[in-house]
Amino acid sequence: MSKELGIKVTLKAALTLDGKIATASGHSKWITGEAARHKVHELRNQNDAVLVGINTVIADDPELTVRGIENGNSPVRIVLDSKARIPENSRIFQNDGTPVIIATGNKALSRKWPNLPDLKILTSPTATPEITWILSELHKLGLKSLLVEGGSFTYASFLKSGAVDRLVLFIGPKIIGGQEALSWCGELGVDQLDQALQIDISSITAVGEDWLIDAKIK
């Protein structure tokens, strides 16, 4: 589907051996080591835009910039924020010349936004922005590649949409355990195993102390 919209979508996640991206208390730094985190900056540098959901911004306050890459360029920063809840002091609002896009729903309350020259607010025709609508809007803006970096609900939304071209999963040699710890992928509506998404693994590579699985959805 993303090919039809002219934008390539890569979904990247860092998870433990038991598929968790955070403890029950929400602690998530760091699941992977420095080599894997450097690889993430390479991925950002290779994409026109990077996207996260509002829960990731509230929990982790990421910068979503490219660091440690020679002549690297930070991608356009995008946040899915249906209700326009993003704090004004979030680090993605740093005035560093990198564009920021906030995608809200049509039921979001009006609010004051930071006075940034490179800030764009996209309002969806639905209460929760649909993935196909988001990709269509990004394509209109001339963006051709998108890196999706979380969180759990956002990953599930993209996977259910059928828009993911590539999966990049960093597996850290850790086990969190427990039913309350957050799994990397949210609800997909799978009741039977034959409904599960099947992936085609292209490669499994050691990255420092971690493993990188590069795959596609069959």
Query: Could you list the pLDDT tens digit for every one of the 218 residues in the chain?
Result: 455 668 999 999 999 999 999 888 888 888 999 999 999 999 999 999 999 999 999 988 999 999 989 888 999 999 999 999 999 999 999 888 899 999 999 999 899 999 999 999 999 999 999 999 999 999 999 999 999 998 899 999 999 999 999 999 999 999 999 889 989 998 988 999 989 999 999 999 999 999 999 999 98
Q: What is the DSSP letter of 107?
A: T
User: What would the pLDDT profile of 70-80 be if each residue is shown by its tens digit?
Assistant: 888 999 999 99
The CATH T-level fold of domain 8-188 is Dihydrofolate Reductase, subunit A (3.40.430)
Q: Which of 55, 58, 82 is nearest to 152 (CA)?
A: 55
What DSSP element (H or E) covers 214? strand 210-217
Handedness of CA 12, 162, 4, 77 (dihedral sign): negative
pTM attached to this predicted model? 0.93
E-state strands within 133-192? 145-148, 166-172, 182-183
Biggest CA-to-CA distance, the chain: 50
Read off the amino acid at residue 51: L
pLDDT in tens, 162-205: 999 999 999 999 999 988 998 999 898 899 998 999 999 999 99
